[in-house]
């Protein structure tokens, strides 16, 4: 029996090295660095944000083929993107200090309206459900050191919250909103009271935060940093004994004494299993089981830094972008730098949690 992308659907076995030889390349990828990608929560559509100032929307079919369906532009590079819960709207967060939204339900495929503004580039955006609010709202995080909440029917923010430093990453799950800023601050907001911080902590990692991603149940989040390390952090103090960090995306050259340390650029949680991926500047990705504190699979180097990742809604496709991540400055970004999005079919036990000891045989 054949699975997605023509892959065998049998169990993956116990080999901890994964296979990327059958990964499929997205058709007509962006022309410059890829900053973010997100699957629709309702269909097999993928939004891709790029430094070429565009957000592209692709449709993915069961064989791994892809077709460009829509595109909209910013005035400057696009640093992030997100979908509304109903899958009808795509938002881009831009270095032009604006968030722009395309409503796909209107039949529009090439223009977007501005829905948010900041005093500095907007690094990230997410749709959020605020208790007692009838419609979804948009939250944006900016290098102007604020997050803002937007009712898409209004031109001014409903609320603005000042952070300690520039916003580098944010994520939301249920009523949990987590914001990672410069200087290693992590602000935690309970969306039942969205105008203030529920808790602020310093990152458990010693160096700059690159990404924060919420657990599927909203009880905590994972943090990735430039030092090749990932932290698992629960929100409530009663769960603090389960907090831990681990090294990843490091390599020791043959005969070398010092390890090469790479940034953790992206963390994504599997929508069904609750396991998660890390991906980094070393051009590799790995699947992990946080509860068993165990690496499930590691994958070979893909030909360049991985800048963004996401699972589709069922968890049977893992998308990753191969692109320059600016870790060595602008001069290293050349016209020959690869920019592509790859689709990896998740098969067998690749992302399944490790069986619990003492469970069923």
Count Cβ neighbours within 10 Å for each residue of 87-114 and write b for 16 or more, e otherwise.
bebbbbbbbbbbbbbbebeeeeeeebee
Please answer whether residues 93 and 81 qualify as being in contact, where contact means their C-beta atoms are separated by less than 8 angstroms: yes
Please answer whether residues 249 and 280 qualify as being in contact, where contact means their C-beta atoms are separated by less than 8 angstroms: yes
Q: Please write the tens of the pLDDT for every residue from 181-197.
A: 999 999 999 999 999 99
pLDDT at 6: 43
Q: Half-sphere exposure (CA, 13 Å, Cβ side) for 240?
A: 5
- Cβ–Cβ contacts within 10 Å for residue 336, how many? 5
Q: List the chain pLDDT tens, one digit each, 361 residues.
A: 334 434 443 343 457 889 999 999 999 999 999 999 999 999 999 999 999 999 999 999 988 899 999 999 999 999 999 999 999 999 999 999 999 999 999 988 889 999 999 999 999 999 999 988 888 999 999 999 999 999 998 999 999 999 999 999 999 999 999 999 999 999 999 999 999 999 999 999 999 999 999 999 999 999 999 999 999 999 999 999 999 999 999 987 777 678 899 999 999 999 999 999 999 999 999 999 999 999 999 999 999 999 999 999 999 999 999 999 888 888 888 878 899 999 999 998 899 998 876 444 3
Is 80 exposed, middle or buried, given 0-12, 13-18 or 19+ CB atoms closer than 10 A? Answer: buried
Q: Half-sphere exposure (CA, 13 Å, Cβ side) for 267?
A: 32
pLDDT at 238: 96
Among 67, 180, 89, smallest CA distance to 137 is for: 89
Q: Please write the tens of the pLDDT for every residue from 319-352.
A: 999 999 888 888 888 878 899 999 999 998 899 9
Among 259, 270, 192, 195, smallest CA distance to 229 is for: 259
Structure tokens given for 17? 């090295």
Among 128, 313, 306, smallest CA distance to 224 is for: 306
246 beta partners: 230
Phi–psi pair at 330, nearest 5 degrees: -65, -30
| Strand, coil or helix: 259 | coil
CA end-to-end span of the chain: 25
User: Could you say which DSSP state residue 86 is in?
Assistant: T
- The whole-angstrom separation of Cα 279 and Cα 306 is 6
For the full predicted model, state whether its pTM sits above 0.85: yes
């Amino acid at each position: 029996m054949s699975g997605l992308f023509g892959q065998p659907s049998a169990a993956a076995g116990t080999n901890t090295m994964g296979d990327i030889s059958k990964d499929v390349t997205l058709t007509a990828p962006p022309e410059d660095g890829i900053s973010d990608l997100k699957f629709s929560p309702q269909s097999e559509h993928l939004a891709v944000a790029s430094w070429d100032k565009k957000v592209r929307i692709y449709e993915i079919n069961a064989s791994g083929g892809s077709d460009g369906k829509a595109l909209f532009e910013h005035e400057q590079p696009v640093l992030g993107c997100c979908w509304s819960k109903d899958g009808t709207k795509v938002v881009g967060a831009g270095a032009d200090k604006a968030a722009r939204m395309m409503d796909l339900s209107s039949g529009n495929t090439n223009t977007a309206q501005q829905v948010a503004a900041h005093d500095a580039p907007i690094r990230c955006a997410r749709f959020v459900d605020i208790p007692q609010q009838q419609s979804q709202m948009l939250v944006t995080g900016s290098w102007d050191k604020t997050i803002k909440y937007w009712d898409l029917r209004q031109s001014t923010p409903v609320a603005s919250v000042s952070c300690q430093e520039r916003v580098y990453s944010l994520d939301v799950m249920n009523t949990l909103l987590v914001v990672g800023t410069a200087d290693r601050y992590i602000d935690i907001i309970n969306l039942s009271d969205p105008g203030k911080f529920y808790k602020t902590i310093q990152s458990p990692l010693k160096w700059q935060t690159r990404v924060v991603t919420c657990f599927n149940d909203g009880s905590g989040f994972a943090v990735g940093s430039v030092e090749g390390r990932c932290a698992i952090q629960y929100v409530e103090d009663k769960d603090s004994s389960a907090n831990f960090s681990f090294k990843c995306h490091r390599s020791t050259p043959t005969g070398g004494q010092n390890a090469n340390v790479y940034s953790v650029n992206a963390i994504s949680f599997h929508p069904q299993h609750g396991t998660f991926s890390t991906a980094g500047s070393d051009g590799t990705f790995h699947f992990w089981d946080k509860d068993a504190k165990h690496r499930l699979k590691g994958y070979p180097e893909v030909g360049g830094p991985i800048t963004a990742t996401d699972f589709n809604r069922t968890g049977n496709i893992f998308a990753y972008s191969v692109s320059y991540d600016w870790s060595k400055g602008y001069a290293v970004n050349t016209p020959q730098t690869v920019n592509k999005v790859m689709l990896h079919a998740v098969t067998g036990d690749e992302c399944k949690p490790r069986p619990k000891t003492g469970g069923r045989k």
